[in-house]
Structure 1
Amino acid sequence: MEKAVITGMGVVSPIGNDLAELESNLFAGRHGIVPIDHFDTSDVAVRVHAPVTDLDPAAHFTGPQLRRLDGYSRFGLIAARQAVRDSGLLDSIDPYRLGVFMSNSGLGGVGTVLGESETMREQGPRRVSPALIPKWTANILAGLVAIEAGARGPAVSHTAACAASSVSVGEGLRAIRHGYADAVICGGGEASSHKLVMAGFQNLRALTASEDPDRASIPFDRERAGFVIGEGGAALVLESESRARSRGATIYAEVSGYGTTSDASHITAPAEDGEPIDRAIADALAEAGEKDETVYVNAHGTGTVKNDQVEAASIGRMFGDRALVSSTKSMTGHMLGAAGAAEAIAAVLSIRRGAAPPTAGTAEIDEDMKIDVVRGRARTAELSRAVSLSLGFGGHNVCLVVDRAEG
């Protein structure tokens, strides 16, 4: 059975618009959270977000292309382009053996919908753009990446809320392991920093009302009060190990395990006992093979009271004192459908760097959390394995295991 290795990575995020910039800021503990300045916040409690900055869309797309792309597709496409270029695989692969699993949380082109709704209200239905539907749909990113890459294998978008792009990476592993593809471009994109979305999350009591960017996203902190909306895109190229080695590709790491379960409990809150999270972790570890050594865990770590409590308990049960834990959402905010892929990249970088990134802003850990949360600065450690956890509304639980590549 084939191993699935990572031969390319790309990212557009609040803390970096390429891999090098992301890595530099991630391990320095620099966050990308800033005050909201693109809409009036006088009637909402939300004051901060984590936007993509210093990215000129016109440098990546023509005018006609921009008019046909929602923000989430732009971010996802740029990240996928980076990953594909990094991998160097397009010149030698059968297009029918190349898949694309690029996902969105399910909100799709929400900015497009809001804009065209306003157009219809003010100017009537005839003025609504014919690009509305393709810009809106949550699956279109997979199609767009497939078109650009010439990929004629499976092109699928997984809708699993905030775990969506983690599912895409896991299903990419399965496609390669079971022989359905030789390589898969996996990841996601999100651009949901809009007032309507924030109002909805706020009324679910999921977003922080903090006005201090340095203390807004503080996962596992005793003063945590919700997450910060982020945006961006992230992509990884997964490839069969035999193919990658035969063409002399750079191999960043191996995706060795994938577990996914459902809480079957509540539409927004995690199951109180955390058992489905335990099972997702156990299934991923069983697939990857057990290792009795220090593991870096990139937690889902949203900064909501209940998520962090349940997740920390699960990490403690499954890893004991072997886990170094951090939440990179403390720096990127919650990138929703792009979060899982971005955090899988962070897991890869941690192994290669031999360090766990900090949970920026987090100070005092809630006293009932018996896990080792990395705070203040990155912590050097001998790491050959990292685990990335993603949880989503609807009860989706996903665990990815990433191992240092052999040889």
Structure 2
Amino acid sequence: MNKENIYITGLGIHSCLGSDIPSFAKALHDGKCGLHHDSERKAKGYQSDLCGAVPSVPEDLITSLTRAQYQCFSRPTFYALSAVKQALHQACISDDFLSEHHVSLIVSNDSTAGEMMRTGTTMQQKNDTRYLGAGAVFRSLNSTVSMNLASLLGIHGLSLTVSAACAGGGHALGLGKMLLDTKQTEMVIVVGAQEDGVASMQSFDALGVFTDTKVQPFGKGRTGLAPSGGAACVILEPEHNFHLRAKKLQPWAILSGYGFSSNGTAISTPLAYQESVSMIKAMDDAGIDEGLIDVILAHATGTTMGDEAEATAIGDTFGMCPKVVATKGMTGHECWMAGVSQAVQAALILNKASLPGCVGTEKNAFPKLNLVMKTMNYQPHNILCNAFGFGGTNSSFIISKFDNNKL
């Protein structure tokens, strides 16, 4: 059966590299690092205080909410609303369209540590649940972002939160593609959201995998990752719907393939073989072989075991290694939002014909890996993205260039 193209028609981002698409794109091209040292984290017992410096959301976004809505919004929900509003505006999607059509919302989110800490502190101090307020439950549930956005936007299709650690964003995109491939919904808003407060990464820091100097994806002498946060959004819609709805618009790109696998072994140890399976399944879904992948946008968080496993998986999957892009030296590890952030990055790469360099890495530890060290002009057609997570859950997806001649 011939599958219809799934277009990416809107992008949105709120991250440590910028709070809109133009500033984010420029930062990627210029090799800007969005990480900083947060003294509050050291004061709170963190082993490393290096993390993403995520800007606050615009004041007008906050004041646009009613008092009841504001009370239910967590910090990552504000970030998500910022990214979603950008993407909807880009795709020329009105409030009326959302209310009149079967639009779905899939969010990748896997924690509300900040809100749980806030609840615990209030209960210790007051010992009375009435001090928590009516909005506390809606801020602290793991589905806080999807339930708030679905209510605010008037979503009538599926509203769902995917909890799959750092692979969640990739799986959210894949589930959105499946819904559209099977014609169960008209459009999917895919969001990755990541909290970034002091409480957000305490248990992750306890693993001792954060670096306190710099992130070196695939680097010799790499010492770990740096957490970051914010939100990213892409709008997915099938080709025929898009042409009926927006005849004068041009899609950013095509979500052409999705693959997944699970390691089924240790909870935090990566497995190169299953990462390879995930990539192969994405290519199978897209109907292309490894020779047509021009660029791999790697997971590459800068950890010793994680980067080695991914480099091995890439080598095992590709006879001739495509160009490999690794951006987490700039963005940090955006965890639950990482996969959707990568989709935004891939769409920008395809449209700007420019590959970001591997900021933070001085020497490639894997000579067979065709790692892009400096920003370079290059026009890819198919970009394979990887997002892997705790529990051995692996996601891979392919973002392909849109052919202008098809409009």
TM-score using structure 1 length: 0.92
Which whole-Å CA distance do the structure 2 matches of 1:361 and 1:43 have between them?
Answer: 25
Q: What CA distance in whole angstroms lies between the structure 2 residues aligned with 1:391 and 1:87? A: 29
Counterpart residue number, 2:104:
99
Question: For residue 102 of structure 2, what is the amino acid of its counterpart?
Answer: R
What pairs with 1:6-405 in structure 2 (closer than 5 Å)?
A: 6-41=8-43, 43-53=45-55, 55-62=56-63, 64=67, 65-90=69-94, 91-92=96-97, 95-104=100-109, 106-107=110-111, 109-125=112-128, 126-194=130-198, 196-210=199-213, 216-246=214-244, 247-248=246-247, 249-271=249-271, 274-290=272-288, 292-293=291-292, 295-366=294-365, 368=366, 370-375=368-373, 377-405=374-402
Unmatched tracts of structure 2, length 5 or more: none
The alpha carbon displacement at 1:40 in A equals: 4.1
Three-state SS of the structure 2 residue aligned to 1:20 is helix
Cα shift at 1:322: 4.1
Deviation for aligned residue 1:42: 7.4
CA distance in 2, matches of 1:217, 1:321: 27
Aligned-partner SS, 1:145: helix
Rounded Cα–Cα distance in structure 1 between residues aligned with 2:146 and 2:383: 27
Aligned-pair CA distance for 1:129 = 2.5
Offset at residue 319 of structure 1 (A) = 2.6
What secondary structure, in the 3-state scheme, does the structure 2 residue paired with 1:321 have? coil
Would the aligned equivalents of 2:254 and 2:402 in 1 still touch at CA under 8 Å?
A: yes
The CA deviation at 1:29 is 0.7
Q: Distance in 2 between matches of 1:347 and 1:72?
A: 23
Displacement of 1:87 after TM fit? 0.9
Partner of 1:213: none
In the alignment, the residues of structure 2 paired with residue 124 and residue 57 of structure 1 have an alpha-carbon distance, to the nearest angstrom, of 35
User: Would the alpha carbon gap of residues 320 and 381 (structure 1) be closer, same or farther in structure 2, given more than 3 Å must change?
Assistant: farther
Give the AA of the match of 2:125.
E
Q: Partners in 1 of 2:123 and 2:397 — Cα distance? A: 43
Kept in 1: contact 2:174–2:397 (CA 8 A): yes
Residues 106-151 of structure 1: CA deviation (Å, up to 9, x unaligned): 11x2212112211111122232232221101121211222223222
1:72–1:190 CA contact under 8 A, matched in 2: yes
Aligned-pair CA distance for 1:327 = 1.7
Q: Distance in 2 between matches of 1:95 and 1:259?
A: 32
Q: Is the contact between residue 76 and residue 234 of structure 1 (CA under 8 Å) also seen in structure 2?
A: yes
Structure 1 gaps of 5+ residues are: 211-215
Report how far residue 94 of structure 1 moved: 6.9
Change (3 A) 1:94 1:111: closer
The aligned amino acid for 2:103 is L
Q: Please identify, of 1-10 and 385-394, the stretch whose mean Cα deviation from structure 2 is larger.
A: 1-10
Report how far residue 84 of structure 1 moved: 1.2
The structural deviation recorded for 1:3 is 1.8
Does the CA contact (< 8 Å) of 1:165 and 1:188 recur in 2? yes
Cα deviation for residue 31 of structure 1 reads 1.0
Distance 1:92 1:199, change over 3 A: closer
8 Å CA contact retained: 1:87, 1:250: no
The answer as to whether partners of 2:73 and 2:148 remain within 8 angstroms in 1 is no
The one-letter code of the counterpart of 2:385 is: S
Instruction: Kindly state the Cα deviation for residue 86 of structure 1 after the two structures are TM-superposed.
Output: 1.1
Partner Cα separation in structure 1 for residue 308 and residue 259 of structure 2: 21
Q: Deviations over 1:54-82 (max 9, x none)?
A: x3453211373443211111111111111
Task: Kindly indicate whether the alpha-carbon contact (under 8 Å) linking 1:2 and 1:178 is maintained by their aligned counterparts in 2.
Answer: no
- Pairwise CA RMSD: 1.8
Q: Which deviates the most, 116-125 or 333-342?
A: 116-125
TM-score computed with the length of structure 2 as normaliser: 0.92
Q: Distance in 2 between matches of 1:167 and 1:44?
A: 30
Distance in 2 (alpha carbons) for counterparts of 1:329 and 1:31: 9
**Size of the alignment, in residue pairs?**
394
User: 175-184 or 317-326, which moves further after superposition?
Assistant: 317-326
Q: How far apart in 2 are the matches of 1:185 and 1:296?
A: 25
Contact 2:228 2:334 in 1 (8 A): yes
| Counterpart residue type for residue 158 of structure 1 | V
Q: Which moved more, 1:33-42 or 1:235-244?
A: 33-42
**Matched position secondary structure for 1:254:** strand
Post-superposition Cα deviations, 1:146-196, rounded to whole Å, max 9, x if no partner, equal 2232220111111100111211111111111110111100022111342x4
Q: Would the aligned equivalents of 1:206 and 1:304 in 2 still touch at CA under 8 Å? A: yes
